[in-house]
Amino acid sequence: MEFCKAFNAKTQEMEKGMPIPTVITIFTDKSFSFETKTPPAAFFLRKAAKLQKGGAEPGREVAGSVTTAQCREIAEAKMVDLNANDLDAATKIIMGSARSMGLEVRG
């Protein structure tokens, strides 16, 4: 119950229904700590493309499209959790995720 109250307090400003990856550490004295991450890139890409899900056959079928600017915005939001040194590298990671979902990346 204590975790639920703490989690809800920390995530109350976030959008309803947004998936939030969380790392929970429980100690032997039954205390805990948790760290919330940014939502998955796929969530942001589906939202940007206004889709419910990605393509059924990525590489063969185009489910929707996103712009490079949208990928850059997503990269800025996810920069903390991405394994990238700069924003350009993070944008390329997001563009690759978009392609693997069957989305077309437009300039």
The full set of domains in the chain, from first to last, is 2-36 (no CATH), 41-106 (1.10.10.250)
Q: What pLDDT does 3 receive? A: 87
What lies within 8 Å, CB to CB, of 49 at 6+ separation is 63, 64, 65, 66, 103
- The 10s digit of each residue's pLDDT in 19-57 is 999 999 999 998 899 999 989 999 999 999 888 877 778
Interatomic CA distance for residues 54 and 104, integer angstroms: 11
pLDDT confidence of residue 92 = 93
pTM of the model: 0.80
- Whole-number pLDDT of residue 74: 93
Is the C-alpha dihedral spanning 80, 81, 82, 84 positive or negative? positive
